[in-house]
Chains A and B, each alone.
Chain A
Amino acid sequence: MAEQAITGYKRWLESVGEQGVFFKSFFRNIFRGGFEWSEFVRQCYEIGYRSMMLVGITSFIMGLVLILQLRPSMLQMGAESMLPKTLAVSFIREIGPVIIAIICAGKVASGIGAELGSMKVTEQIDAMEVSGANPLQYLVVTRIIATSLMIPLLTIIGDAIGLFGGFLALNFTDDISFSLYFHKCISSLEFIDLFPALVKTIFFGFAIGFVGCYKGYNSNKGTESVGIAANSAVVTASLWIFVIDAVAVQITSLLFYR
């Protein structure tokens, strides 16, 4: 038992070390010159545009459902007019970024893990290296930067759609005009609601890209390892998102709520 625990712990430490090395080589390759623009743009399209539908639908439903769930208790407290503010603050600060990041971990991190994993298995990464391209620069740097930019963008879009979903739900029952609802949402938001949430999503995006690339790039050379890479990318990225979220909340409250 003890031995097993020790080897497990050792392996964990090893993988942390490997991730550190991977991070270092990623970082070094950003500034190497010869940025792969066309691949970067393609990745932004793949990651951003192709996830838009999924993010949109989820956010819409989340906004709608939250209003429906909140309304009875808010009515009881006589705080019905607070509904737009409650939704706006909770959605933009917490629910939007986390839900969207988790969804993207499922779609994007697994996609990257599987793609790079299969490129590894079929020797495409080796082929790239002997073709005079730097696979870290071509595959990894472009993807990580693309996710770090696209996840925040998707979150902004998702937030807007979520608030719109909330408006529709409220409109069923309360017949509130769009401009009034919108005004209530916006006026309730402050800098500390928006800025930390946006910064947080950059880190979410980074985690998604980094974990996906790490798992794919370092997968073994067997067909089953593609599935393993995709699966563990989702699990690890999701975990990272919650850890980052917890840390981000602590830092935000230290900085802004004193």
Chain B
Amino acid sequence: METEKKHTEENKKLDKNEIVVDIDHISKSFGTKEVLKDINLQLKRGENVVVLGKSGQGKSVTIQCIVGLLTPDNGTVKVFGDDVAQMNDEQLKELRTKVGFLFQSGALYDSMTVRDNLEFPLTRILKITDQAELDKRVEEALEGVGLTDAIDKLPSDLSGGMRKRAGLARTMIVRPEIMLYDEPTTGLDPITSREISELILDMQKKYKTSAIIITHDMECAKITADRVVIMNEGTYIAEGSFDELKKSDDELVRSFFNETT
């Protein structure tokens, strides 16, 4: 309540109940393999939703449908009220200025330095051409993730954690309103994982981003989640706050939390 008073102005713009991403009963098959059976999820403005689920359940497929990399067979995905499947190239481009996507592997461009990697979305999405402005933004973004020293390095010279951070900086640099994180902490040591999780939380606080976070990492879920959904065999089987689900009666749901409890 107190924080709300402090940000009254922002809150006028930021209607907490506005649904920014509306996934409406989608399904998706690859060949004969039915990956998504019935997925239904609403992401509200400013909210962090964590999606838990075993690997190969179609978590990545779900968020790829949100940015139009994949199209669901049935059902619709709406972002800010517009159906993604109906968008033309221009509208998709527009959409992608508002939705940031952190790929599982970081997906840094191998042939470019960290600096060029970060400039890439700036010159293409925001169409910034002024070199001083580019430099300023790149440095700022790298500072935010603690990677200032690596600016002129190639991705092959970075460690796994540094790549993830550089990837995060590249996604954040255009200040998207919605962030999709695909396993942001997988394959990292516990300390780096925690740092990344805290960066995600910072982003939410600082820029009021809404986010869907896919993870197996319970600590990451605990730190970042406003709401948790659990996915199994192509559908969501449970939804609630982290603590609620931890105490769930369902054995499968509880099994996700077993490692840490």
Interface residues of A (CB under 8 A from B): 42, 118-119, 122-124, 126-133
Contact A132 B96 (CB under 8 A): yes
When each residue 80-111 of chain B gets 1 if its CB lies under 8 Å from chain A and 0 otherwise, what string results?
00000000000001001101110111011111
> Which residue on chain B has the smallest CB distance to residue A125?
B107
User: How far does the alpha carbon of A235 sit from the alpha carbon of B110 in the complex, in Å?
Assistant: 26
Report if B252 contacts A (CB, 8 A). Answer: no
Of the listed stretches B118-126, B221-229, B243-251, chain A binds B118-126
User: How far does the alpha carbon of A123 sit from the alpha carbon of B183 in the complex, in Å?
Assistant: 13
Chain A residues near B104: list those with CB within 8 A: 123
User: How far does the alpha carbon of A131 sit from the alpha carbon of B110 in the complex, in Å?
Assistant: 15
Report if B186 contacts A (CB, 8 A). Answer: no
Report if B67 contacts A (CB, 8 A). Answer: yes
User: Smallest distance from the beta carbon of A31 to chain B beta carbons, Å?
Assistant: 14
Report if B69 contacts A (CB, 8 A). Answer: yes
Contact A132 B103 (CB under 8 A): no
User: How far does the alpha carbon of A118 sit from the alpha carbon of B108 in the complex, in Å?
Assistant: 12
User: How far does the alpha carbon of A130 sit from the alpha carbon of B97 in the complex, in Å?
Assistant: 8
User: How far does the alpha carbon of A171 sit from the alpha carbon of B103 in the complex, in Å?
Assistant: 62
29 A-B Cβ contacts within 8 A?
A42-B111, A118-B110, A123-B103, A123-B104, A123-B105, A124-B108, A124-B109, A126-B64, A126-B69, A126-B101, A126-B103, A126-B107, A127-B101, A127-B103, A127-B107, A127-B109, A128-B109, A129-B69, A129-B96, A130-B69, A130-B101, A131-B120, A131-B121, A131-B124, A131-B170, A132-B93, A132-B124, A133-B120, A133-B124
Interface residues of B (CB under 8 A from A): 64, 67, 69, 93, 96-97, 99-101, 103-105, 107-111, 120-121, 124-125, 170
* B96 CB contact (under 8 Å) in A118, A119, A122, A131: A131
User: How far does the alpha carbon of A127 sit from the alpha carbon of B108 in the complex, in Å?
Assistant: 8
* A130 CB contact (under 8 Å) in B96, B108, B109, B110: B96
User: How far does the alpha carbon of A124 sit from the alpha carbon of B69 in the complex, in Å?
Assistant: 13
User: How far does the alpha carbon of A105 sit from the alpha carbon of B59 in the complex, in Å?
Assistant: 39
Chain A residues near B64: list those with CB within 8 A: 126
Tell me whether A124 and B107 are in contact in the complex, defined as CB-CB below 8 angstroms, given that A129-B69, A130-B67, A132-B124 are known contacts: yes
Contact A132 B121 (CB under 8 A): yes
User: How far does the alpha carbon of A94 sit from the alpha carbon of B160 in the complex, in Å?
Assistant: 50
User: Smallest distance from the beta carbon of B94 to chain A beta carbons, Å?
Assistant: 9
Contact A122 B107 (CB under 8 A): yes
User: Smallest distance from the beta carbon of B86 to chain A beta carbons, Å?
Assistant: 18
Chain A residues near B100: list those with CB within 8 A: 130
> Which residue on chain B has the smallest CB distance to residue A121?
B105
User: How far does the alpha carbon of A118 sit from the alpha carbon of B107 in the complex, in Å?
Assistant: 10
User: How far does the alpha carbon of A70 sit from the alpha carbon of B170 in the complex, in Å?
Assistant: 61
Tell me whether A131 and B105 are in contact in the complex, defined as CB-CB below 8 angstroms, given that A124-B110, A126-B69 are known contacts: no
User: How far does the alpha carbon of A109 sit from the alpha carbon of B161 in the complex, in Å?
Assistant: 33
Contact B110 A119 (CB under 8 A): yes
User: How far does the alpha carbon of A124 sit from the alpha carbon of B112 in the complex, in Å?
Assistant: 12
Contact A122 B105 (CB under 8 A): yes
User: Smallest distance from the beta carbon of A104 to chain B beta carbons, Å?
Assistant: 20
Chain A residues near B120: list those with CB within 8 A: 128, 131, 133
User: How far does the alpha carbon of A130 sit from the alpha carbon of B120 in the complex, in Å?
Assistant: 11
User: How far does the alpha carbon of A127 sit from the alpha carbon of B97 in the complex, in Å?
Assistant: 13
User: How far does the alpha carbon of A128 sit from the alpha carbon of B109 in the complex, in Å?
Assistant: 9
Chain B residues near A122: list those with CB within 8 A: 105, 107, 110
> Which residue on chain B has the smallest CB distance to residue A46?
B111
Q: Which residue among A42, A123, A129, A132 has the maximum number of chain B CB atoms within 10 Å of its CB?
A: A132
Chain B residues near A123: list those with CB within 8 A: 103-105, 107
User: How far does the alpha carbon of A127 sit from the alpha carbon of B96 in the complex, in Å?
Assistant: 11
User: Smallest distance from the beta carbon of A143 to chain B beta carbons, Å?
Assistant: 12
Chain B residues near A119: list those with CB within 8 A: 109-110
Give 4 closest A-B pairs by Cβ, nearest first: A127-B107, A132-B125, A132-B124, A123-B107
User: Smallest distance from the beta carbon of B158 to chain A beta carbons, Å?
Assistant: 13
User: Smallest distance from the beta carbon of B137 to chain A beta carbons, Å?
Assistant: 14
Chain A residues near B107: list those with CB within 8 A: 122-124, 126-127
Chain A residues near B105: list those with CB within 8 A: 122-123
User: How far does the alpha carbon of A130 sit from the alpha carbon of B182 in the complex, in Å?
Assistant: 14
User: How far does the alpha carbon of A126 sit from the alpha carbon of B101 in the complex, in Å?
Assistant: 10
17 additional contacts, CB 8 Å, given A124-B109, A126-B107, A131-B170?
Answer: A42-B111, A118-B110, A123-B105, A126-B69, A126-B103, A127-B103, A127-B107, A128-B120, A129-B96, A130-B69, A130-B100, A131-B121, A131-B124, A131-B125, A132-B93, A132-B121, A133-B124
